[in-house]
Amino acid sequence: MDKASHDQTLLEAIEALPDPEIPVISLGDLGIVRGFHREAGRVVVSITPTYSGCPATEVIRDDILALLEKAGEHEGRVQLRYAPAWTSDWISAQGRLKLKAYGIAPPAACLSGANEASRVFPLRPLNPIMQAQCPRCDATSVERLSEFGSTACKALYRCLACREPFDYFKPY
């Protein structure tokens, strides 16, 4: 295997790593792997944390380093890239389907759109209650039970149609 396809395989393996908090989606689905290059032969992987201070970031870094180690890249490095800031708009279409199948309502699009370069401060949806949708029956008549669900990134909602509570991945 030549070097370029070796690196491509490595990158794909990194993107396929599960998110520590929501293992049903991968790092690639989340859109947090932002770069892969070599410096003096050493692999450097850039990731953008989903939420600053999210404890999952260290787990993700360790997972990537362990993967590199196993692939024989003993001097690999993970660097954190904070700008542009991650937005839930970076979650792939496939990732949204996986979240929904898992019972988590995927985030509605942020008002800022996908172009983060123009974002000055994190915009939040004006009325997230109107944007959450039941992952089971697709009803939009839902109520928020709590600002925080099973993790800080999610809020707890209940569907008014089927009465099932569900986690809503907050747009960010």
Binding footprint of Zn ion on the chain (CB under 5 A): 134, 136-137, 139, 159, 161-162
Q: Give whichever of 77 and 158 is closer to Zn ion, judged by the CB atom.
A: 158
User: What one-character DSSP code corresponds to residue 18?
Assistant: B
**Cα–Cα distance measured from residue 128 to residue 60, given in angstroms and rounded to the nearest whole number:** 28
Taking the complex as a whole, how short is the minimal distance between the CB of residue 19 and Zn ion, in angstroms?
25
**Cα–Cα distance measured from residue 35 to residue 78, given in angstroms and rounded to the nearest whole number:** 10
Which residues lie closer than 8 Å to 101 by C-beta, 6 or more apart?
24, 135
Q: Which sign, positive or negative, has the C-alpha torsion 57, 10, 71, 81? A: negative
**Beta-sheet strand order (sheet of 142-146):** 104-105, 165-169, 154-159, 142-146
Q: Give whichever of 15 and 164 is closer to Zn ion, judged by the CB atom.
A: 164
**Chain centre distance of CA 136:** 21
Q: Give whichever of 54 and 161 is closer to Zn ion, judged by the CB atom.
A: 161
Q: Give whichever of 157 and 172 is closer to Zn ion, judged by the CB atom.
A: 157
